Amino acid sequence: MAPIAKVGGLGDVVTALARAVHDQGNMVEIILPKYSFFNMSPMLGGMEYETQFEWGGTTIVVQRCIVEGIQVFFIEPQNGFFDVGSVYGRNDDGVKFDYFCNAALEFLTCTQRQPDILHCHDWSTAEVASAYWGNYHHYGLWKPKVVFTIHNMNYGQMKIGEASFHSQITTTVSPSYAGEVAGHPAVNQNLHKFHGVRNGIDTEIWDPETDQFLPMNYNADNHEAGKRAARETLQSRFGLTWGSDQPMVAVVSRLTAQKGLDLIKHAIGHSVKRGAQFVLLGSAPDPRVQADFNAMAGHMGGPNAAFCFAFDEPLSHVVYAAADFILVPSMFEPCGLTQMISMRYGAVPVVRATGGLRDTVFDLDTEKARAAWEVDGSTDYKDTGDQTNGFSFEGTDPEALNYALDRALDCYYNDKVWFRTLQERIMRQDWSWNRPALDYIELYYSAIRS
C-alpha cells in the first residue's frame, strides 16, 4: 500500500482504488502485515492498539492507523515473522504470505466483522480465497464474498489458479491483458467470472497543478511554461544542454526484461541521433543488467543523455513534467501507470501496444475511431473531436520502435504549435479512478448476488 510500502504499481493501485471506492460512499478497510521497517515511517506515528489473539502458535497483535484517509489494520505476529527489511525477495515469501492471509481471516472472525467483500490482490493474498471458504465461512465469518485481482500472471501461478477457482469474481488490471492471459490454465476454466478492469491513477498525487516536487506548477492552460521550468531544472541537475529547444524523451521504469531492455537501449541512441535529449530514471535488480546500463551511461552520458539509476519518486515527478515524450516499450504490461501519469503531465506516450498500454494509448495516425469510443463513448470522432493521445507500435524489434518514435519526433519538429495543443489535449483526458471504481463497485454487487 503506497506510500508506506510500495513495490511496483501494486501499492499505488491498492491505495487509490480504496480511496476511490470510499469516495463513492462505501466503507473500505485494508489489512496489511506489519513489517519491521514500518516502524521508521513517519506516516504511521498515529498507530493505535486494536486487539490481540492467539493463533498459529504465537500471539498476534493488531494495530490500526489512518493512511491516506483509509482505516488500515496491521497484523503483527510476535514470533517475528515479518521482522524483515523488504516486502519480497526471501525464500519463505510464500509461507509468510499464507500465514498472513489466515491471520487476517482469524482477525476478522475474532472481532466479529462481516464485510460484504474480501478483495484480495495478486498471488501474495490468493490464499484468502481458499482459506475463507474452507476454514472460516462455516465458523463465524459467514457473510463475505471474494473478489480476486491478478496484477501479473508471471508470479505465483498455482496460487492464482486456486484463488480464481474459489473467488466469486476474478479480475485483472486491463481488458486487453485479460484477453492476452485468458488461455492460461490458471484462469481458463473460470472465464465466466473473469473481467478486465483498467487501473487508474491517483489524480491527487499526480497533479501538476499542485505537485510539491515541481519547480513551477501548471495545468493544461499554461503547460508550456510549467514544462519548460521542469525541463530546465532537469537539465541543470544532470548537465544536459540548458535551455535547449530539443525534444526530451524519457524512460521512468524498473530495468527488467519485461520492460523491453533492448528497446530502451536502442531508443537512447536513436533519440540522440534524431537531435533529442534522453533521460533515464530507473534501476535494475539484476546486477548484470545494471552493469550494462552503467557502461552505456559512461559511454553516452553527456549534454544530450542523462542516467539516474535509482528509485526516486520525487525526481520522477520532475521527469514526467520535463519530458515531451515518455517511452514504454514493454514486452508485456498488465496495465501500466506510467503512460497515464505521463499524459497527466503533458508528456506524450510512445508505447508498445500490449495489455493496458493498448487500452489507454491511441495512435495519432491510425486510431481516431477507437479513441473516440474509449474516451467519449462515441462511434464517430468527427462528432466528439480527436482524442488520440500518443504513438504505438506492435513489434519487438528496433525498426518497430523507430516507426513510432520517429513519428513522435517528427510531430514535434514539424509543428511545435500543434504539438503544444496535443499536450493540452492529453492533459485534459481523465485517467483517474473514477470510472474503474464504478466498474469495481458493480462487480462487488455481482459477487454479492452470486
Residues 367-389, mean pLDDT to the nearest whole number: 89
pTM: 0.93
Residues 239-250, mean pLDDT to the nearest whole number: 95
Q: Which amino acid is at 331?
A: M
CB 263 within 8 A of CB 398: yes
Higher pLDDT, 252 or 245: 252
Q: pLDDT at residue 158 above 90?
A: yes
Rounded to whole angstroms, the Cα distance separating 3 from 38 reads 11
Query: According to the model, what pLDDT value does residue 343 have?
Result: 99
Per-residue pLDDT band for 5 (boundaries 50, 70, 90) equals: confident
CB 399 within 8 A of CB 411: no
Q: pLDDT at residue 1 above 90?
A: no
Closest CA to 390 of 336, 324, 316: 324
Q: What cell was used for 382?
A: 468527427
Residues 299-318, mean pLDDT to the nearest whole number: 96
Give the model confidence (pLDDT) of 181-227 as tens digits: 999 999 999 999 999 999 999 999 999 999 999 999 999 999 999 99
Q: pLDDT at residue 233 above 80?
A: yes
Query: According to the model, what pLDDT value does residue 379 have?
Result: 79
Q: pLDDT at residue 244 above 90?
A: no
Query: According to the model, what pLDDT value does residue 253 have?
Result: 96
Give the model confidence (pLDDT) of 332-364 as tens digits: 999 999 999 999 999 999 999 999 999 999 999
Backbone angles phi, psi at 86, to 5 degrees: -150, 160
Closest CA to 1 of 97, 74, 83, 50: 74
Q: Which residues of 207-241 are buried (b: 16+ CB within 10 A; e: fewer)?
A: bbeebeebbbebebeebeebbbbbbbbbbeebebe
Ordered structural domains, the chain, with CATH: 10-200+435-449 (3.40.50.2000), 223-430 (3.40.50.2000)
Average confidence score pLDDT of the chain: 95
Least confident of 153-167, 218-232, 374-388, 430-444: 374-388
Backbone angles phi, psi at 183, to 5 degrees: -85, -5
Q: pLDDT at residue 86 above 80?
A: no
Give the model confidence (pLDDT) of 30-53 as tens digits: 999 998 888 778 778 788 999 999
CB 318 within 8 A of CB 238: no
Q: What cell was used for 30?
A: 485494508
Alpha helices in 184-312 (DSSP H): 223-238, 261-273, 287-300
Peptide bond preceding 208: is omega within 30 degrees of 0, i.e. cis? no
Q: pLDDT at residue 6 above 80?
A: no
Owner of C-alpha cell 501507470 = 337
Distance in Å from the first CA to the final CA of the chain: 29
Query: According to the model, what pLDDT value does residue 225 have?
Result: 98
Residues 8-27, mean pLDDT to the nearest whole number: 93
Owner of C-alpha cell 501496444 = 353
Q: In 10 A of CB 142, how many CB atoms?
A: 10
Higher pLDDT, 279 or 9: 279
